[in-house]
Amino acid sequence: MKGQAKWSWKKKLGAGVGGLLLVLVLVLSGAAIYFHLQINQALPEIDGEVTLSGLDGDVEVNRDANGIPQIVAESDRDLFMAQGFVTAQDRLFQMEMARRQASGELSAIVGEDAIDVDKYFRTLGLHRAAEKSLALYDDDVLDVLQAYADGVNAYIEHAQNERALPFEFTLMGHSELAEWTVVDSLTIGKYMAYDLGGHWERQAFNYYAAHHFDEDAALELFPAYPEGRMRNILEEEYVDVTAGLTSAIIPDAFNGSNNWAVSGEKTASGEPLLADDPHLGLSTPSIWYQVQLSSPTYEVSGVIFAGIPGVILGHNEHLSWGVTNVGPDVQQLYLEERNPDDPYQFRFDDEWEEADVIEEVIEVSGEDPVVYEVVETRHGPVMSEFMEEAAGEMDQVFSLRWTALDATEELAAVLQFNQAASWDEFEVALEQFQAPAQNFVVADQEGTIAYKANGRIPIYEDGDDALLPMPGWDADYELRDYIPFDELPTVVDPEKGFVASANNEIIDPDVYPYHISHVWAQPYRYERIFEVLDSGDDFTVADMQALQMDQENLKAREFVTLFLEYLPEGTRREIETDALAQLMDWDYVDEVSAAAPLIFDRWYDAVEGLLYDVIDEEILELFSARGQTTDTLLREAADGNPGHWIMAHGGLEELMDESFVNAVEHLEDEHGSDVSAWQWGDDNKVYFPHPLSGILFFDRFFNPVEPKSLGGSHVTVQAASKRGDEEHVNHGAGWRFVHDMAEPLEGHHIVGPGQSGHYRSDWYDDQISRWVDGAYHVSDMANWQTAHTLRLRSGDQ
């Protein structure tokens, strides 16, 4: 009986577990079917017909095998309305999140975790700047913006009616979208200006260093020596940078890029070649959206940020153009003196001025709204108060003067770029592109190649003023004027036969009459581009593509020799000897299967880790472009002038020894003791993360492709770098473009990871492998390879 009872108990338990498993399987299967249907429902219609009320006539949307739309319309209004509709088809979730982040409205759907982000962007005031900019635009541009917004809203209505919103909205419980407005598009434009920065954080770091280290030690960290009148700011009582500014959201210092244009005298076709590959964050979907626009007055192909009409980078039948970031000093911190009797008054010219007080109401999902005050002085928003409640009691605070917070009209310039027929016409349009400041290169059908820096770049009476915060109470430090457009750096048809930029120093400060910046990208990418373009005279499209994928590391070419020269001799562990052998045999190419790039990268990082080990981690976030400083310290030491930071670690030999040992120990822990098995690609992998990747299992859902190993690094032309504490490469050329004026209607592109933002789309991540390998696709404006056609029909017919 006991045995039978025991058996019966086991049998019942087994039946119970089996029943639970069956229920669980049925529930999971049902959920999977539901999710499958929901996801597929959100896929855009790419064939057939859709009625779109508001169109004047029919519009054809012809998608090629890569999902790239060619939009053909009989009027400009129809063209841009269709562009809004089609972009929303592919990227609505991205567009919604972009406008919310830029406007400080994420908390309404994300919850309280996003409150600090919203406070920061409300303080910065990108949305307010967009509203101010609206007043500058003429009716033609406003019509384009409105048509685009109408198209976006038509798709939102269509998707909501069909229950076809992207699946991400379902996951976030966000199904009622507000109407898209013209200000939303302009705010996203302002966000891109923010993403390209302007160096306020380096001013904050310099200020911190000057107050925390001996003068000589602090000045070694400065990109230039502050002489003259700016020294008086250091005599003021120190305002805590850590409390007020270190929680700010700081873009990468060199969201940069490469671009160049080669004269027909140096090309196989006899016509100019142009190449551009902007370096920004790598994500799913891409920052860039590729499109061709065709109407009686527009015929243009290239890329744009989802949420903005037109084509910002690309080509038409007459010319092509591309950009890199100038990185000028367009952001200036001011130290403001607050009236102790009135927190909304600040001293200027011995009088108390009223600041503007803006009440921002931040909606928070599941919580009560947060009422947040933004205070703006004559210079701009008070940044100290963004994260620090006690700042309201401070006698002195930091405010930010930034040219992109002024009213500007970049979209007018973009639309003129799209229609320009020559360099001369393009340059006229460029004057309206005021923020962000970019290095433009252009090649046109007349054979002209040109370079010009654009933007509203303040004139500093003394260039050293831009090194530190300026006294907001002193009228002598007001930035009232800008470098005249005709005097911005410009090169047309140079004798050397090419123009190029890679965020490098673009002027000779001893010759050029105006201050541009103290902080430039390290010169290695530009030097490599120059080296290649200067060495040939029959370049082809394939050569330009190869140069965009070039992995030659000129930083290593310079510093490996120095590192090895100063590494003390002596008994070393076998693994260290093997690592040194790899470096001595290296050809300085950051090739994916090589060990040497990994060893050098970690060694250099270890050098920096020792040099700056006394600086708080949160302050190091403000030390933008510190590689420029590190290189200078090492060069000076090798020339016999070791400064404070080198001598603090016993001189160059002791620094090299300790950093090398540290680097090899870390590599051994991570990659094992067999140095010959170490590979750069094991540590250099690209991921293209989706915004929801960090939530539970959605990482594998939204990023089903394994991270891919790739070559290149942050100092090679093929840019690949990690920002912050990221495990994978998250910064590089999301779009690569090459154009030959001999075939003016053909553009050669890669958009990583793909064109679509929909997980189940064939074009969601189909370009990842091509992006890693450098396999371009051709978009031919005259011979569009149509794979799918959607006809948008007017609802008024």
When pLDDT is averaged across residues 558-581 and rounded to a whole number, the result is: 96
Question: Catalytic residue positions?
Answer: 257
Residues 107/114, Cβ–Cβ less than 8 Å: yes
Q: How far apart are CA 398 and CA 247, in angstroms?
A: 14
Question: Total domain count for the chain?
Answer: 1
Lookup: tokens for 623: 């030390």
Residue 329, annotated as binding a ligand: yes
Residue 568 lies in a domain: yes
Q: Tell me which residue of 457, 248, 221, 207 sits closest to 333, measured CA to CA.
A: 207
The C-alpha angle 197, 423, 421, rounded to 5 degrees, equals: 115
Residues 690-738 pLDDT 10s: 988 877 567 777 888 899 999 999 999 999 998 766 789 999 999 999 9
Residue 400 lies in a domain: no
Residue 692 lies in a domain: no
Q: How far apart are CA 602 and CA 660, in angstroms?
A: 9
Residue 638 lies in a domain: yes
Q: pLDDT: is 679 or 4 the higher one?
A: 679
Q: Quick check: 12 pLDDT over 50?
A: no
Q: Quick check: 5 pLDDT over 50?
A: no
Q: Tell me which residue of 113, 147, 659 sits closest to 370, measured CA to CA.
A: 113
What average pLDDT is seen over the chain?
91
Residue 603 lies in a domain: yes
164 phi and psi angles, rounded to 5 deg: -120, 25
The whole-number pLDDT of residue 252 equals 64
Residues 402-457 pLDDT 10s: 999 999 999 999 999 999 999 999 999 999 999 999 999 999 999 999 999 999 99
The whole-number pLDDT of residue 625 equals 87
Q: Tell me which residue of 345, 248, 323 sits closest to 278, measured CA to CA.
A: 323
Q: Quick check: 125 pLDDT over 60?
A: yes
When pLDDT is averaged across residues 33-38 and rounded to a whole number, the result is: 54
Residue 599 lies in a domain: yes
Q: pLDDT: is 278 or 245 the higher one?
A: 278
Residues 579/655, Cβ–Cβ less than 8 Å: no
For residue 51, CA distances in Å to 158, 790, 791 come to 10, 11, 8
Query: Residue 484 gets which letter from DSSP?
Result: -
Q: How far apart are CA 180 and CA 168, in angstroms?
A: 18
Q: Quick check: 233 pLDDT over 70?
A: no
Residue 559 lies in a domain: yes
Q: Quick check: 571 pLDDT over 90?
A: no
Q: Quick check: 168 pLDDT over 70?
A: yes
When pLDDT is averaged across residues 210-217 and rounded to a whole number, the result is: 93
Q: pLDDT: is 471 or 229 the higher one?
A: 471
Q: How far apart are CA 600 and CA 748, in angstroms?
A: 34
Residue 175 lies in a domain: no
Residues 267/539, Cβ–Cβ less than 8 Å: yes
Question: What is the domain extent for residue 668?
Answer: 554-588+595-678
For residue 149, CA distances in Å to 82, 164, 416, 727 come to 10, 19, 20, 38
DSSP alpha helices (H): ranges in 338-493? 410-419, 423-430
